[in-house]
């Protein structure tokens, strides 16, 4: 088995009452050039999930603010709900308060929840744009959460010191043992049939399966060893309805899916055929893609769909339209209830795992790709011709390729997609995100 490395990047959640600048801070941290690894427009709800990197330490950033809905009179209960969820799932919490308004009753309520949490909490006093406001920030000591950081989400001042502290508090990197089994995470929106799928595979009702969305209690690994396949199946428990929390299940599914996806090799994205490929399915799919995980889409409850001649073709076409441009993804139509194609789903996941750990020799890569590139070279830019002379696969856990050119700065995204498509056509990276870089030769 190929050595496989897992980096537990950690989850940082931004919490606080409405209108203190949580989303502005989120956007600021994601857009900083030295912090940015990736940002995803539209993932979760309105761009409230990002992959960030600060001084070489990668982490997931989640803004809980976008999930507060409804009128002013229910803000307080919504905020409590989001904070409890964030405390439950995040590794580190950033508590944003507003220096202009000072300490409010709702701030004190949030602080009370945070003081009870056994998680690192950093108080970010926002809108500190001058020395006067710096002095006013002292009152936030009253929240009983220790030191605070004065920041301005608008211009970014103070955010560096805050991030230094946040990164130091994140859990340590963990490296997988070389012989550890692959991890296949079963992810999806509430009630799509994740636990039913695992029960059907292992042949016993190991998990509670009901018609109530979100009944799985914890993320549980099941070692699976049948038909020559051996790996760990992870029921994400994505969407458990906690006894104390009447939460927004959609939000909770994202919080849980982030962690499960980060720790997986291949993600089996289960969707409900009777509902189609909806917004939350798309969100979870892109979480997996941006984390560079293998992906298989499982269309469950296919036995409940009325079939016509082209039903599968039309359904598949709709899904591929939604996941453009990463359309080289296997889609398996199955039923956990009747066990139709459930073993096909596992065979496909194993194939994707093997594709993800595939290594192509430099000579084979050059012999295949350079003639294709010579036949269709990059477009000339500013009267200059771009020449690609050499390529190699990088020594990374997931497939990444470097193409060396005389003028890499003139190669645009359409040509990058062309090269990626040629790699896929010739080397079978079905279900696997791949990265293509152009570098100075």
- Looking up residue 290, the CATH number of its domain turns out to be 3.40.50.300
Task: Tell me, yes or no, whether 415 and 342 share the same domain.
Answer: no
- Rounded Cα distance between 419 and 427, Å, is 12
pLDDT at residue 369 tops 50: yes
Q: Does residue 80 contact residue 47 with C-beta atoms inside 8 Å?
A: no
Same domain, 333 and 246: yes
Residues 192, 160 share a domain: no
Q: DSSP string covering 173-190, please? A: P----TTPPPEEEEEEST
In the block, residue with structure tokens 């979760």: 44
Q: Are residues 163 and 252 in the same domain?
A: no
pLDDT tens sequence across 414-427: 999 999 999 999 99
Q: Are residues 135 and 85 in the same domain?
A: yes
Confidence of residue 35 (pLDDT cuts 50, 70, 90): very low
Q: Would you say 283 is a known binding-site residue? A: no
In a domain? residue 175: no
Q: How far, in Å, CA of 123 to CA of 257, rounded? A: 26
Looking at the chain, the whole-number percentage of residues with pLDDT higher than 70 is 78
Global pTM exceeds 0.85 = no
pLDDT of residue 253: 58
- Residue 187: inside a domain, yes or no? yes
pLDDT (tens digit, 9 = 90+) per residue, 144-192?
888 899 888 887 788 888 999 999 888 875 554 444 788 898 888 777 8
214 is annotated as contributing to ligand binding: no
User: Does some domain include residue 255?
Assistant: yes
Q: What's the pLDDT tens digit per position in 284-339?
A: 888 888 888 999 999 999 988 888 888 899 998 999 998 888 889 999 999 988 98
For 148, the domain range is 9-167
276 is in an annotated binding site: no
Q: Is residue 4 part of a domain?
A: no
Both 21 and 136 in one domain: the answer is yes
Is 284 inside a domain boundary?
Answer: yes
Instruction: For residues 63 and 48, state if they share a domain.
Output: yes
Return d(Cα 5, Cα 396) in angstroms, integer: 9
Q: Which CATH number do you get for residue 369?
A: 3.30.300.20
Which of 167, 196, 211 is a domain's end point?
A: 167
Does residue 236 have a known ligand-binding role? Answer: yes
CA terminus-to-terminus distance, the chain: 33
Are 349 and 369 contained in the same domain? Answer: no
Is 331 annotated as a binding-site member? Answer: no
- Domain count within the chain: 3
User: Do 53 and 188 have their domain in common?
Assistant: no
Q: Is 207 marked as a binding-site residue?
A: no
**Does 18 count as an annotated binding residue?**
yes
d(CA 421, CA 398): 17
Residue 132 lies in a domain: yes
Residue 118, number of CB atoms within 10 A of its CB: 5
The answer to whether residues 14 and 112 belong to one domain is yes
Is 225 in the same domain as 293? Answer: yes
Last residue of a domain, one of 355, 377, 402: 355
Give yes or no for a contact between 21 and 94, defined as CB atoms under 8 angstroms apart: no
pLDDT in tens, 250-277: 555 566 667 778 778 999 999 999 998 9
My answer on whether 121 and 192 are in the same domain is no
**With contact defined as beta carbons under 8 Å apart, do 85 and 245 qualify?**
yes
Q: How confident is the model at residue 74 (pLDDT cuts 50, 70, 90)?
A: low
Lowest mean pLDDT among 116-125, 220-229, 316-325, 409-418: 220-229
């Amino acid at each position: 088995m190929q050595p496989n490395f897992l980096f537990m990047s950690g989850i940082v959640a931004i919490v606080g009452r409405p209108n203190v600048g949580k989303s502005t801070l989120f956007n600021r941290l994601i857009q900083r050039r030295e912090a940015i690894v990736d940002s995803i427009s539209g993932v979760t709800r309105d761009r409230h999930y990002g992959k960030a990197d600060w001084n070489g330490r990668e982490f997931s950033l989640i803004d809980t603010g976008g999930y507060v809905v409804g009128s002013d009179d229910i803000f307080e209960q919504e905020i409590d709900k989001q904070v409890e969820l964030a405390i439950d799932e995040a590794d580190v919490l950033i508590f944003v308060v507003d220096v202009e308004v000072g300490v409010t009753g709702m701030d004190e309520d949030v602080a009370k929840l945070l003081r009870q949490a056994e998680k690192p909490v950093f108080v970010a006093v926002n809108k500190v744009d001058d020395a006067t406001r710096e002095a006013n920030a002292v009152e936030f000591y009253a929240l009983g959460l220790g030191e605070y950081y004065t920041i301005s989400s608008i211009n970014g001042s103070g955010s560096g010191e805050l991030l230094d502290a946040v990164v130091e508090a994140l859990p340590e990197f963990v490296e997988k043992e070389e012989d550890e089994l692959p991890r296949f995470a079963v992810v999806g929106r509430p009630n799509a049939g994740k636990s039913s799928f695992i029960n059907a595979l292992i042949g016993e009702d190991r998990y509670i399966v009901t018609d109530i969305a979100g009944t799985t209690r914890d993320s549980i690994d099941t070692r699976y060893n049948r038909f020559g396949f051996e790996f760990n199946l992870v029921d994400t428990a994505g969407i458990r309805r906690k006894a104390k929390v009447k939460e927004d299940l959609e939000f909770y599914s994202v919080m849980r899916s982030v962690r499960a996806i980060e720790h997986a090799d291949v993600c089996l994205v289960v969707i409900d055929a009777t509902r189609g490929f909806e917004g939350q399915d798309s969100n979870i799919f892109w979480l997996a893609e941006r984390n560079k995980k293998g992906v298989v889409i499982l269309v469950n409850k296919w036995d409940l769909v009325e079939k016509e001649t082209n039903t599968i073709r039309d359904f598949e076409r709709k899904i591929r339209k939604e996941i453009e441009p990463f359309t080289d993804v296997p889609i398996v139509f199955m039923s956990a209830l009747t066990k139709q194609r459930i073993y096909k789903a596992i065979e496909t996941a194993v194939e994707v795992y093997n594709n993800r750990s595939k290594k192509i020799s430099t000579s084979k890569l050059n012999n295949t790709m350079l003639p294709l590139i010579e036949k269709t070279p990059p477009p000339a830019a500013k009267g200059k011709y771009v020449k690609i002379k050499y390529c190699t696969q990088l020594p990374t856990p997931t497939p990444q390729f470097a193409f060396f050119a005389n003028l890499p700065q003139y190669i645009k995204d359409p040509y990058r997609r062309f090269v990626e498509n040629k790699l896929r056509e010739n080397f079978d990276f079905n279900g696997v995100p791949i990265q293509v870089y152009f570098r100075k030769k």
